[in-house]
Amino acid sequence: MLPTQPSLPTKIDLAIIGAGPHALTLVTHLLQKRQTMLGKILVFDKNAKWISRWQNQFAALEIPHLRSPAVHHPDPNPFALRKFAESRSSELFSPYDLPGTRLFEDFCQDIIRRFQVQQQVIPLDVTRIEPLAYPIRPRLRLWLQDGQSIIARRVVLATGSAKLQIPDWVNQIESGYLQDRLCHSQSVDLRKLHLMGERILIVGGGLTNGHLAVGAISRGAKVHLMLRRQLQEKLFDAEPGWLGPKYLKEFFAEQDYQKRFDMIVQARNGGSMTPAMGMQLRREVRNGHLKIDENCQVLKAEWLGKSWRVKSSDGSQHEYSRIWLSTGTKFDVTSQALLQEVLEAYPINIVNALPVLDEYLRVPGCELFLMGGLAALQVGPTARNLSGARMASEKIVPAIVKPSITLSHLRSA
């Protein structure tokens, strides 16, 4: 039973779907340019609070600090976090002043207070976006989980939603096993687990896997980390040159979107660990708590009633009490149920499951904007990161505050 919801207006100027760091970044950049927009924005997120899903994920994996330096955050002033942290310098980690998780959360709460956007979040999920053909300019109707609907002049999708990549061998397992014994890393909450004496297989080579391994070992488990290639160590998801003109100039000059996609894949180059995490894992290997197998894959997993029997590509066979998958995500605009009606009404070019948007990150012909990984062809390899949230906001804000951009866009569609 849903709690009684506040009655909503029938129309709103701007609706944002999702209340994570990307949405907060957009709202602050928008209000910095036009403070009067405050009463014209509603944010829909069933979690009812800003960045609560983000907080839960960091807490569930016991992540001590961010991977992004202190200049990347939702405030329009890049130095605001450093100023906020003046009396908490011990919470900025080397190298490059990586903010501690608690520090970053407190800073975000400070932003929410300063920009007075506490009341903007409506605790409801959007279940459907319906394009409406209005006489002068089209509108979008948002249907909500409680049956209410609201008509929006503009909509921004900022949910960060990506498809979980599940290995083929998982689909061949017969059902009957306990759900918590084989799950994706997004379902793991270390805080709730007692793992003393357990043997856990973690599949994948990204930073999340490192946090899972460290968390499981600290609870008394033995961990086997299996990567289908060599373990990569990098400070960031993509080279810092992708945050500015050094690499982006060539990226934006490229008009072939397949080539842009290839540049994104090459820049991110799959999952990687930070050097600090790599060092921590090597220490656990020396202590006998961790085994790392590179260039190795699961061929088959079989549930024996209380444990898994797993056959690997190196010919070995082991038993585990749990398997955790941290095999990455894929952004696929065609698998987004929320976007189906919009894409039928406004067909667009799609390259490797990513949409080709206009320069303002809009679905051409329509006032629907996309942020996060789905905007990668227009933002670059860091689209899903905090730096990508800023870059996306800088593209979207002009189209919202300048009516002439909206009108010319709709006339040309």
Beta bridge partners of 41: 14
Indicate whether 2 pLDDT > 50.
no
Average pLDDT over residues 133-160: 91
Collect all residues with Cβ–Cβ distance below 8 Å to 140 and sequence separation of at least 6.
15, 129, 130, 131, 132, 151, 152, 154, 155, 342, 366, 367, 368
User: What is the structure's pLDDT at 111?
Assistant: 98
User: Please, what's the largest Cα pairwise distance for the chain?
Assistant: 70
Report pLDDT digits (tens) over 315-355.
999 999 999 999 988 999 999 999 999 999 999 999 999 99
Superfamily of domain 164-232+270-328: FAD/NAD(P)-binding domain (3.50.50.60)
Indicate whether 93 pLDDT > 70.
yes
How wide is the angle at C-alpha 120 spanned by C-alphas 117 and 126, nearest 5°?
145
Round to whole Å and give the CA distance between 381 and 394. 16
Phi, psi of 115, deg, nearest 5 = -90, 0
Helical ranges in 34-128 per DSSP H? 52-60, 80-84, 101-114
Indicate whether 103 pLDDT > 80.
yes
User: What is the structure's pLDDT at 1?
Assistant: 43
Specify whether the CB–CB gap between 205 and 232 falls below 8 A: yes
**For the whole model, what pTM was predicted?**
0.94
Indicate whether 224 pLDDT > 90.
yes
Average pLDDT over residues 118-133: 95
Round to whole Å and give the CA distance between 368 and 413. 13
User: What is the structure's pLDDT at 307?
Assistant: 96
User: What is the structure's pLDDT at 402?
Assistant: 84
Query: Please, what is the average pLDDT of the chain?
Result: 93
Residues in the chain: 413
Report pLDDT digits (tens) over 3-42.
455 679 999 999 999 999 999 999 999 999 999 999 999 9
Residue 73's pLDDT band (cuts 50, 70, 90): very high
Looking at the chain, the domain(s) classified CATH 3.50.50.60 span: 11-162+331-412, 164-232+270-328
273-310 burial, b for 16+ CB within 10 Å, e for fewer?
bbebbbebbeebeeeebbebbeebebeebebeeebbeb
Indicate whether 413 pLDDT > 60.
no
Average pLDDT over residues 116-136: 92
Indicate whether 407 pLDDT > 60.
no
**Which helix or strand (DSSP H or E) is residue 160 part of?**
none
Closest to 371 (Cα-Cα) out of 54, 158, 117: 158
Round to whole Å and give the CA distance between 211 and 273. 10
Report pLDDT digits (tens) over 250-295.
999 999 999 999 999 999 888 899 999 999 999 999 999 999 999 9
Mapping DSSP to helix (H, G, I), strand (E, B) and coil, where does residue 15 land? strand
User: What is the structure's pLDDT at 244?
Assistant: 84
Round to whole Å and give the CA distance between 108 and 339. 29
Beta bridge partners of 44: 17, 122
**Which helix or strand (DSSP H or E) is residue 245 part of?**
helix 245-253
Specify whether the CB–CB gap between 50 and 190 falls below 8 A: no
Mapping DSSP to helix (H, G, I), strand (E, B) and coil, where does residue 301 land? strand
Q: Cα separations (Å) of 91 from 16, 80, 108, 348? A: 31, 15, 15, 45
User: What is the structure's pLDDT at 271?
Assistant: 86
Average pLDDT over residues 107-130: 97
Fold category of 11-162+331-412 in CATH:
FAD/NAD(P)-binding domain (3.50.50)
Indicate whether 241 pLDDT > 70.
yes
